[in-house]
Structure 1
Amino acid sequence: MWKAQRFEAATCVSGPGDRRGRLHGHGYRLRVHVTAPLDRVLGWTLDYGDVKAAFAPVRQALDHQRLDAIAGLEAGDVASLAAWVARSAHQRLPELHRVDCYERDGVGAIAWPD
């Protein structure tokens, strides 16, 4: 199953001559994919509310922040962001399988926890 999440943030992409080097923002969209055994009594794997609650500290750490100022996100790119989210979320959500991160339609990255 997966649970969609959103957050707004700004970043700079490092690199000489990179036009994205100026501060700019995105409305990031995430899909947090989890894998767990089916609970035969309840009829589902995990409650969406539990997934949202477990993921909330990760989202709050990113929402309305400057991403390239966060340790591990200095590069400012979506691939680094997806990997950071996967590592961070896996600590609180061991059932995490994968994170899809979109900075806008048609542009994104997929990451798996280490």
Structure 2
Amino acid sequence: MWKAQRFEAATCVADADDTRARLHGHGYRLRVHVTAPLDRVLGWTLDYGDVKAAFAPVREALDHQRLDTIAGLESGDVASLAAWAARAARQRLPELLRVDCYERDGVGAIAWPE
């Protein structure tokens, strides 16, 4: 199953020789994928609210922040952001399978926790 999350943030892409090198913002969309055994009594794997609550500190650490100033996100690119979110979420959500991060429609990255 997956649960979508949104946040707004600004960044600049290190070493870019185009407009990405300037500070700019995005409305990011994260899709948090989890996997767990089906509960035969309840009929589901995890509650969406529990997934949202477990991921909330990760989203809140990113929302309305300048991402390239956060340790591990200095490069400012979406692939680093997806990997950072997957690592951070794994600590709170052991059922995490992967994180999809969309910078905008048609642009994004997928990361699996290490």
Which residue matches 1:102? 102
Q: Which moved more, 1:12-21 or 1:85-94?
A: 12-21
Distance 1:28 1:38, change over 3 A: same
* Displacement of 1:83: 0.2
* Displacement of 1:12: 0.5
Which residue matches 1:12? 12
Could you tell me which runs of 5 or more consecutive residues in structure 2 were left unpaired when the two chains were aligned. Answer: none
Q: Letter of the 1:49 partner, please give it.
A: G
Alignment of 1:77-88 (within 5 A): 77-88=77-88
CA distance in 1, matches of 2:95, 2:50: 11
* Displacement of 1:16: 5.3
Q: Letter of the 1:75 partner, please give it.
A: S
CA distance in 2, matches of 1:48, 1:20: 35
Which residue matches 2:64? 64
Deviations along 1:16-72, one digit per CA (max 9) or x if unpaired, are 523211000000001100000000111000000000000000000000000000000
The answer to whether residue 75 in structure 2 is matched with residue 75 in structure 1 is yes
Structure 1 runs of 4+ aligned residues shifted over 6 Å read none
CA distance in 1, matches of 2:90, 2:7: 18
Q: Letter of the 2:63 partner, please give it.
A: D
Number of aligned residues? 114
Q: TM-score by structure 1 length?
A: 0.98
Q: TM-score by structure 2 length?
A: 0.98
RMSD over aligned Cα, in angstroms?
A: 0.7
CA distance in 2, matches of 1:72, 1:90: 16
Could you tell me which runs of 5 or more consecutive residues in structure 1 were left unpaired when the two chains were aligned. Answer: none
